[in-house]
């Protein structure tokens, strides 16, 4: 009887300290990321072609004096680009994280998988064919282009017996991006006025935008951000495979649809606002995963805070390295992100993905 009772007693599995460590680190990581973000916001407001003291920055925010040249620079130029850096960085971080989760592809990113290229092509068509000239108009074309590119890349990658593997998705994304880029260039070369209007947007910059741009894309970013954060538990289920996810009660088709909608809203609005900015959505989820573990309920908010840190840091660096001019933020993020992308490809190739 004792042996029977011993065998029938439930076995309790105590989580290992290593498994609990990422969860315990989540709050400190989020606090440190928030502190870094606050410091970078102040740096973004103070650093540029002309340095402005932090006391002047605080005066501009709390007791604005339009007769002060320094305060005028802070409020009319640096504040809008800082706000956009916060919004667009958070959007790209969440979009990249959701894409990696729903495709189970560590190389997924709005830039790598052709989403930015599709948005750019759609905006060029909007400018040349429909005469669109405002960000509010760009947004809708960016959404259509982003959605079309996502469907096309996944459809191409899904051909064959293996389905949409990570490497096939990356290759399909590169091919579709190249095709969209060639078609976009052909349209621009055939229409000088479209080229003149498009080139300001194409460089991927936070400069030259006002707070009205942030206000126009904010509703789309809010809806996409909330939807992405809600998907955390479902992405955890998908990480174990579709069959296991269904067994756990997840509605896989609905989760994929919600993920696609979140990515299109986030990346489409961000791209429409500041142009194509690559590698933020690729690198930041990996950093977040290293810091807080593999639970998407923690990775998503960590990515939402860490991505603006990277984007604002890149923007500040771009202002400093080429004074009195500046290097556009998309160029700086590409310089920082390209080596990370190569390292990820090599690592996962060696792992047999």
* Nearest-angstrom CA–CA distance, 142 and 15: 45
pLDDT tier at 301 (50, 70, 90 boundaries)? very high
Higher pLDDT, 219 or 169: 219
Higher pLDDT, 32 or 161: 32
190: number of Cβ within 10 Å? 10
Peptide bond into 324 cis (omega under 30): yes
Q: Tell me, yes or no, whether 12 lies in a domain.
A: no
What is the predicted pLDDT for the residue at 133?
Answer: 74
pLDDT tier at 24 (50, 70, 90 boundaries)? confident
Decide if pLDDT at 242 tops 80.
no
Alpha-carbon dihedral of residues 158, 160, 166, 172, nearest 10 degrees? -70
Cα 169–chain centre separation? 18
Higher pLDDT, 250 or 4: 250
* Nearest-angstrom CA–CA distance, 345 and 334: 16
Q: Tell me, yes or no, whether 52 lies in a domain.
A: no
Cα 306–chain centre separation? 10
Query: Rounded mean pLDDT of 90-114?
Result: 85
* φ/ψ (deg, to 5) at 10: -65, 140
Q: Tell me, yes or no, whether 64 lies in a domain.
A: no
- Yes or no: say if 285 and 96 are a contact pair by the CB < 8 Å rule: yes
Percent share of the chain, pLDDT over 70: 86
Decide if pLDDT at 147 tops 70.
yes
Decide if pLDDT at 34 tops 90.
yes
Cα 64–chain centre separation? 33
Query: Rounded mean pLDDT of 202-207?
Result: 76
* Nearest-angstrom CA–CA distance, 232 and 222: 16
What is the predicted pLDDT for the residue at 222?
Answer: 96
What is the predicted pLDDT for the residue at 97?
Answer: 94
pLDDT tier at 1 (50, 70, 90 boundaries)? very low
Structure-token pair, residue 296: 């998407």
State the DSSP string of 6-70: HHHSPPP-PPPHHHHHHHHHHHHHHHHHHHHHHHHHHHHHH-SSS---HHHHHHHHHS--TT-HH
- Yes or no: say if 282 and 110 are a contact pair by the CB < 8 Å rule: no
Number of domains in the chain: 1
What is the predicted pLDDT for the residue at 185?
Answer: 84
Query: Rounded mean pLDDT of 46-52?
Result: 85
* Nearest-angstrom CA–CA distance, 146 and 116: 7
Higher pLDDT, 163 or 284: 284
SS (H, E, C) 86-129: HHHHHHHHHHHHHHHHHHCCCCCCCCCCCHHHHHHHHHHHHHHH
Mean pLDDT of the chain: 82
Decide if pLDDT at 9 tops 60.
no
Query: Rounded mean pLDDT of 129-136?
Result: 77
Q: Domain residues for 183?
A: 72-350
* Nearest-angstrom CA–CA distance, 353 and 340: 17
* Nearest-angstrom CA–CA distance, 310 and 284: 8
Structure-token pair, residue 309: 């840190």
What is the predicted pLDDT for the residue at 335?
Answer: 86
Query: Rounded mean pLDDT of 83-108?
Result: 90
The whole-model pTM stands at: 0.83
Task: Residue 278: name the closest of 218, 206, 204, 209 by CA.
Answer: 204
Alpha-carbon dihedral of residues 219, 225, 231, 236, nearest 10 degrees? 170
Q: Tell me, yes or no, whether 86 lies in a domain.
A: yes
Q: Tell me, yes or no, whether 112 lies in a domain.
A: yes
Q: Tell me, yes or no, whether 130 lies in a domain.
A: yes
Query: Rounded mean pLDDT of 251-257?
Result: 82
How is residue 241 annotated by DSSP? -
Q: Tell me, yes or no, whether 216 lies in a domain.
A: yes
What is the predicted pLDDT for the residue at 22?
Answer: 63
Decide if pLDDT at 42 tops 60.
yes
pLDDT tier at 12 (50, 70, 90 boundaries)? very low
Structure-token pair, residue 94: 């969440």
CATH of residue 142 = 1.10.3470.10
Q: Tell me, yes or no, whether 131 lies in a domain.
A: yes
Structure-token pair, residue 233: 């538990």
* φ/ψ (deg, to 5) at 49: -60, -30
Out of 136-150, 157-171, 240-254, 258-272, least confident range:
157-171
What is the predicted pLDDT for the residue at 20?
Answer: 54
* Nearest-angstrom CA–CA distance, 82 and 236: 33
Query: What SS3 state is found at 196?
Result: helix
* Nearest-angstrom CA–CA distance, 341 and 353: 15
């Amino acid at each position: 009887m004792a042996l029977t009772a011993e065998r029938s007693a439930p076995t309790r599995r105590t989580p290992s300290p290593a498994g609990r460590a990422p969860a315990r680190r989540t709050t400190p990581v989020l606090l440190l990321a928030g502190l870094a973000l606050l410091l970078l916001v102040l740096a973004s407001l103070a650093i540029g072609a002309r340095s402005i003291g932090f006391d002047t920055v605080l005066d501009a925010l709390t007791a604005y004096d339009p007769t002060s040249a320094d305060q005028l620079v802070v409020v009319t130029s640096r504040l809008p680009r800082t706000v956009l850096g916060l919004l667009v960085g958070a959007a790209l971080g969440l979009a990249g994280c959701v894409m990696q989760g729903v495709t189970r592809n560590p190389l997924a990113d709005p830039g790598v998988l052709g989403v930015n290229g599709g948005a750019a092509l759609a905006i060029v068509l909007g400018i040349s064919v429909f005469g669109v000239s405002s960000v509010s108009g760009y947004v809708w074309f960016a959404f259509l282009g982003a959605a079309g590119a996502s469907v096309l890349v996944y459809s191409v990658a899904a051909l064959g017996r293996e389905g949409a593997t990570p490497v096939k998705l990356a290759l399909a994304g590169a091919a579709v991006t190249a095709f969209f880029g060639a078609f976009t260039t052909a349209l621009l070369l055939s229409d000088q006025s479209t080229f003149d209007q498009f080139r300001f947007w194409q460089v991927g910059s936070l400069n030259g935008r006002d707070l009205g741009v942030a206000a126009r894309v904010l509703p789309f970013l809010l809806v996409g951000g909330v939807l992405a954060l809600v998907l955390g538990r479902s992405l955890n289920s998908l990480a174990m495979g579709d069959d296991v996810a269904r067994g756990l009660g997840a509605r896989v088709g609905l989760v994929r649809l919600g993920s696609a909608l979140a990515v299109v809203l986030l990346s489409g609005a961000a791209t429409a606002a500041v142009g194509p900015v690559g590698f933020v959505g690729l690198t930041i989820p990996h950093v977040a995963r290293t810091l807080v573990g593999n639970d998407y309920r923690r990775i998503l908010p960590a990515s939402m805070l860490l991505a603006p840190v990277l984007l604002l840091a890149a923007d500040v660096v771009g202002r400093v390295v080429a004074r009195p001019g500046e290097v556009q933020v998309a160029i700086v993020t590409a310089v920082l992100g390209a080596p990370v992308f190569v390292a990820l490809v090599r690592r996962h190739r060696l792992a047999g993905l």
